[in-house]
């Protein structure tokens, strides 16, 4: 049984490290930060057969890719998944309940306590036929004065090790022992009409839930933990396992010329485009019906009750993975020489048993006893991987002590180099991944710790200081590179760096086999092949070879002629001054993500940044990966206006609705904002519905998002309903499905109105109005008008809607979703989306000066002919109802949007030049793209 480990993503502007361990029968993923799903598509690696996800931290930076990935797993017919991570993981998962539901999947989370009872033989947190996974919790040490001689007993815990921070943990109570026996039965009662299999609930919790005034936030201890588990079972009940999407093809076994598990890169086995289109693969054909919701489901969750010592650095969990032990080869020739008959006796010997049997010697029958080791070669020592998350120098002493003071972990680490000269090791550790925070890698104690794993280990190191920052999504960047030759301002190149700030090779004292972590590195553990770039991943990268001069940038003659004509017409328009100065000409409209429902190689999920010079920025929706798109657009370095400054200037985020592709990236943006130094001097107003604000408050219980910041410059809530254009008086206007949905103090109508007024003042806006739009959930469009005379209207997700037309009349820019091709008008109607023609028609009805089309389905990578085959000239071109298809990282100023009509022919030719008809990465999207991300 061969197996391997691969780097899916490294540390970069738009990703955090994610590791995949691959066997023929299963995959295991360690950390799923934002853009994990999209990185699978870019790299060509498959998520099929994923069995478990592991997390080193219960924080937004490590888990933001989880909801999108889990929904993609479920839509791609993966039906059972385990999650393992620190305390707080269940709370994070349960906070997703209002936008994550898949009845075709069971998800079982297990939390690892930060402190456990000392044991010479630690219990693995996960065991199956492939792996034993051991969790090593590491808490930061508050002082920098330590050495390798620091022991566990010297670490500054405020209480004895066996009881500290454990008031609500399984280890202290003796109940719910998740890690030692994940499948052990638990006594629970059936809550009425829910089956005992799917929702067993204890009598104590059930009693609380039946109270008329029950509020989950009042629960504590085990009751709070159990309630979160009840919520998670409702999110992933596994009640519809047999009605998954049918692909029309039998999956191909994951082999590579007999080297199963040698790499996680494989050709997709998704349906062909024609097959998927004919079947119209649509999970909504099998409607998802929820079982009755548990009491309090839409109310705020109880806060996690574990306690940790004060520290600026988060605690982290490292993992040690032990692979299977492989029996030695059976020596058939020796067995024959010993007279062992074929059949049962040889099978018993192969299993390690001793056998006795009769043989003929010199005409007499005698008994012969043969031990297994006489005919079976010595077993291979199990291969081992360590995955070490070390966020700060303060974590080093606890990590070192974990290996030094444990009889078990000392089998893998030693200060004595001669320890590794043993001819018969119990284990073979060959690979270590290091996720190093600031100052860790160059710390002398950490370098000594690294060397303690022995000379044969290969060290793959993630560190912002020591790793380059190449482009992650090279397919999109390659298109942007090509189109930048037409207009390098609109087709803005994403920021990158191919050289690290500090070269790892210049750091003295590191182990000899130390490499920076790159997203294409694969290591075969059996048979052993040292870390090397995966050729299947490398060949998908067309961007960096051109950048480095290894490949030429080639344009077809048709594209060359098209670009030449476009540049000529644009120059003539500018020279003849046909474009008159208009209000808001310098306002930026930057599509950060332009895809619908799912990310693809070429488009991220929805987000648009509006930049108002001298006033600040507004973000319209925030799909997964939005922060990474901001970072790529502006860069993280010392440029005059970098991503940090763009974040500091961000004063408003409007989230239209709760479908996941519109807001999963919201929390990460807020987390990054909390890292600004010095802190922001103005608040960030989040305008959305109650459900968005609710889950932000729940996440704030495990990670500081700045909710209720005493400085007044944190996150300030504004309810979309308080800005509804039909609202009269001093109360919310909505009824039925449009009612506010709760009675928490922060929902106060007047407070929300006052907050909105302050927001408008800070941005120079004279109006900010919302309208209900026609979608399959509560969704709002928005229009805001600046006192300088320009306005922007954003549709959110919607079919053509009267309310949006009312508030958006005469808007300067209409940003309208255009999810479907015109041929899919019936599908668009069913899903409450708009076709491209419908979006254009809505813009014309509003008399919009510019119509920015976005939220394109990945099934339609090419623009329709009526947008690309027009031939405007310097004398005949549109100045009203200008149609502008959006592309990720396009940098528009309102005053320049007219140029796109001249560029569309070149866009189409570029697609023809670059599209690989044999590339079926988008097939996965084709199969599940119609699935609502809710």
Residue 244 phi, psi (nearest 5): -85, 170
The last residue of one of the domains, among 374, 408, 431, is 374
Q: What is the pLDDT of residue 149?
A: 53
Are 714 and 755 contained in the same domain? Answer: yes
Q: What is the pLDDT of residue 165?
A: 29
Q: Which residues of the chain have pLDDT under 70?
A: 142-199, 242-289, 309-310, 860-862, 917-934
Distance separating the N- and C-terminal Cα atoms of the chain: 39
Sign, CA torsion 368/371/374/375: positive
**Cβ atoms of 523 and 5 closer than 8 Å:** yes
Are 818 and 869 contained in the same domain? Answer: yes
Are 340 and 384 contained in the same domain? Answer: no
Q: What is the per-residue DSSP string for 163-216?
A: TTT-TTSHHHHS---TTT-TT-----B--TTS-TTT--B-HHHHHHHTSTT--G
CATH at 44 = 3.60.15.10
Are 462 and 386 contained in the same domain? Answer: yes
Residue 345 half-sphere exposure, CB side, CA atoms within 13 Å?
Answer: 17
The last residue of one of the domains, among 374, 392, 408, is 374
Residue 639 phi, psi (nearest 5): -70, 160
3-state class (DSSP) for residue 117: coil
Q: What is the pLDDT of residue 199?
A: 54
In a domain, 167, yes or no: no
**Cβ atoms of 655 and 618 closer than 8 Å:** no
Q: What's the rounded Cα separation, in Å, for the pair 249 and 583?
A: 56
Q: What's the rounded Cα separation, in Å, for the pair 772 and 801?
A: 8
In a domain, 157, yes or no: no
pTM of the model: 0.88
In a domain, 260, yes or no: no
Are 610 and 759 contained in the same domain? Answer: yes
In a domain, 91, yes or no: yes
Are 534 and 665 contained in the same domain? Answer: no
Are 460 and 337 contained in the same domain? Answer: no
Q: What's the rounded Cα separation, in Å, for the pair 168 and 620?
A: 40
In a domain, 224, yes or no: no
pLDDT in tens, 803-855: 999 999 999 999 999 999 888 899 999 999 999 999 999 999 999 999 999 99
Are 516 and 611 contained in the same domain? Answer: no
The residue assigned the tokens 């994940």 is 182
Are 770 and 917 contained in the same domain? Answer: yes
In a domain, 175, yes or no: no
Are 649 and 527 contained in the same domain? Answer: no
Q: What's the rounded Cα separation, in Å, for the pair 782 and 793?
A: 6
- Pairing verdict, β 892-893 and 588-593: antiparallel
In a domain, 256, yes or no: no
Nearest to 720 by CA among 759, 680, 681: 759
Q: What is the pLDDT of residue 198?
A: 52
pLDDT in tens, 620-659: 999 999 999 999 999 999 888 999 999 999 999 999 999 9
In this structure, what token pair is assigned to residue 123? 């219990």
Q: What is the pLDDT of residue 350?
A: 86
Residues in CB range of 784: below 8 A, 6 or more apart: 618, 760, 763, 765, 767, 768, 769, 791, 792
Are 360 and 392 contained in the same domain? Answer: no
In a domain, 279, yes or no: no
In whole angstroms, what separates CA 738 from the centre of its chain? 31
Q: What is the pLDDT of residue 181?
A: 31
Are 722 and 753 contained in the same domain? Answer: yes
How many domains, the chain? 3
Mean predicted lDDT score pLDDT of the chain: 87
Residues of the domain holding 821: 559-573+587-726+744-932
């Amino acid at each position: 049984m061969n197996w391997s480990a691969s780097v899916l993503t490294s540390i970069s502007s738009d990703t955090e490290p994610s590791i995949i361990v691959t066997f023929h029968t299963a995959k295991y993923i360690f950390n799923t930060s934002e853009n994990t799903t999209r990185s699978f598509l870019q790299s060509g690696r498959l998520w099929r057969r994923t069995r478990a996800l592991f997390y080193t931290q219960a924080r937004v930076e490590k888990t933001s890719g989880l909801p999108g990935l889990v929904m993609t797993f479920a839509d791609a017919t993966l039906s059972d998944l385990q999650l393992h991570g620190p305390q707080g993981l269940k709370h994070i998962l349960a906070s997703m309940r209002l936008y994550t539901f898949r009845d075709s999947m069971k998800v079982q989370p297990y939390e690892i306590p930060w402190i456990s009872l000392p044991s010479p033989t630690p219990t693995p947190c996960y065991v199956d036929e492939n792996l034993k996974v051991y969790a090593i919790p590491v808490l930061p040490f508050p002082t920098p004065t330590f050495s390798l001689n620091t022991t566990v007993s010297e670490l500054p815990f405020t209480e004895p090790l066996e009881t500290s921070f454990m008031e609500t943990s399984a280890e202290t109570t003796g109940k719910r022992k998740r890690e030692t026996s994940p499948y052990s039965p638990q006594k629970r009662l059936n809550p009425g009409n829910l089956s005992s299999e799917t929702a067993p609930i204890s009598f104590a919790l059930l009693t609380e839930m039946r109270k008329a005034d029950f509020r989950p936030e009042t629960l504590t201890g085990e009751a709070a933990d159990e309630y979160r588990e009840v919520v998670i079972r409702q999110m992933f009940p596994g009640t519809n396992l047999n009605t998954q999407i049918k692909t029309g093809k039998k999956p191909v076994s994951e082999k590579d010329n007999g080297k199963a598990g040698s790499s996680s890169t494989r050709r997709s086995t998704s349906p062909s485009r024609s097959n998927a289109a004919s079947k119209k693969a649509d999970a909504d054909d099998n409607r998802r019906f929820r079982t009755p919701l548990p009491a309090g489901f839409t109310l705020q969750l109880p806060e996690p009750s574990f306690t940790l010592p004060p520290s600026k650095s988060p605690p982290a969990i490292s993992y040690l993975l032990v692979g299977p032990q492989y029996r030695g080869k059976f020596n058939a020739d020796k067995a024959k020489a010993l007279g062992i008959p074929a059949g049962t006796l040889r099978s018993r010997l192969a299993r390690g048993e001793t056998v006795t049997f009769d043989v003929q010697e010199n005409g007499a029958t005698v008994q012969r006893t043969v031990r297994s080791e006489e005919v079976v070669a010595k077993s291979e020592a199990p291969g081992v991987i360590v995955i070490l998350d070390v966020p700060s120098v303060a974590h080093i002493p606890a990590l070192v002590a974990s290996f030094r003071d444990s009889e078990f972990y000392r089998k893998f680490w030693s200060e004595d180099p001669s320890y590794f000269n043993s001819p018969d090791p119990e284990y073979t550790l060959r690979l270590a991944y290091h996720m190093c925070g600031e100052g860790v890698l160059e710390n002398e104690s950490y370098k000594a710790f690294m060397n303690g794993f022995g000379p044969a280990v290969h060290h793959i190191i993630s560190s912002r200081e020591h790793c380059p920052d190449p482009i992650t999504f090279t397919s999109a960047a390659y298109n942007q590179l090509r189109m930048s030759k037409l207009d390098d301002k609109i087709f803005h190149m994403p920021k990158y760096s191919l050289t690290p700030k500090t070269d790892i090779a210049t750091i003295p004292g590191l182990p000899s086999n130390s490499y920076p972590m790159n997203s294409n590195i694969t290591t075969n553990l059996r048979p052993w092949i040292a870390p090397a770039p995966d050729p299947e991943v490398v060949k998908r990268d067309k961007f960096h070879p051109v950048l480095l001069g290894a490949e030429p940038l080639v344009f077809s003659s048709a594209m060359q002629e098209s670009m030449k004509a476009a540049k000529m017409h644009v120059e003539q328009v500018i020279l003849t001054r046909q474009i008159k100065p208009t209000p808001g000409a310098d306002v930026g409209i930057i599509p950060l993500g332009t895809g619908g429902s799912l990310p693809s190689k070429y488009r991220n999920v929805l987000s648009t940044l509006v930049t108002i010079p001298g006033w600040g920025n507004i973000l319209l929706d925030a799909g997964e990966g939005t922060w990474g798109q901001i970072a790529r657009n502006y860069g993280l370095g010392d440029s005059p206006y970098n991503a940090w400054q763009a974040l500091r200037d961000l004063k408003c985020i409007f989230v239209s609705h709760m479908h996941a592709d519109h807001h999963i990236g919201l929390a990460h943006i807020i987390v990054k904002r909390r890292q600004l130094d010095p802190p922001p001097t103005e608040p960030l107003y989040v305008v959305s519905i109650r459900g968005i604000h609710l889950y932000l408050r729940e996440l704030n219980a495990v990670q500081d998002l700045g909710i209720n910041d005493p400085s007044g410059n944190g996150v300030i809530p504004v309810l979309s309903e308080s800005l509804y254009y039909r609202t009269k008086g001093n109360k919310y206007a909505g009824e039925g499905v449009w009612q506010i949905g709760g009675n928490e103090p922060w929902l106060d109508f007047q407070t929300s109105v006052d907050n909105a007024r302050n927001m408008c003042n800070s941005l120079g806006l004279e109006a900010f109005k919302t309208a209900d739009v026609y979608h399959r959930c509560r969704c709002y469009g928005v229009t805001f008008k600046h006192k300088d005379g320009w306005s922007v209207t954003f549709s959110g997700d919607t079919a053509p809607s009267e309310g949006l037309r009312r508030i958006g009349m005469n808007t300067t820019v209409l940003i309208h979703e255009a999810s479907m091709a015109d041929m899919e008008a019936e599908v668009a109607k069913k899903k409450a989306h708009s076709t491209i023609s419908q979006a254009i028609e809505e813009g014309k009805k509003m008399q919009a000066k510019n119509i920015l089309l976005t939220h394109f389905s990945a099934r339609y990578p090419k623009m329709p002919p009526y947008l690309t085959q027009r031939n405007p000239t310097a004398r005949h071109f549109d100045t009203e109802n200008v149609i502008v298809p959006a592309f990720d990282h396009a940098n528009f100023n309102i005053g320049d949007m007219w140029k796109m009509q001249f560029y569309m022919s070149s866009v189409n030719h570029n697609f023809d030049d670059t599209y690989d008809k044999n590339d079926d990465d988008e097939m996965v999207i084709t199969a599940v793209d119609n699935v609502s991300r809710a």
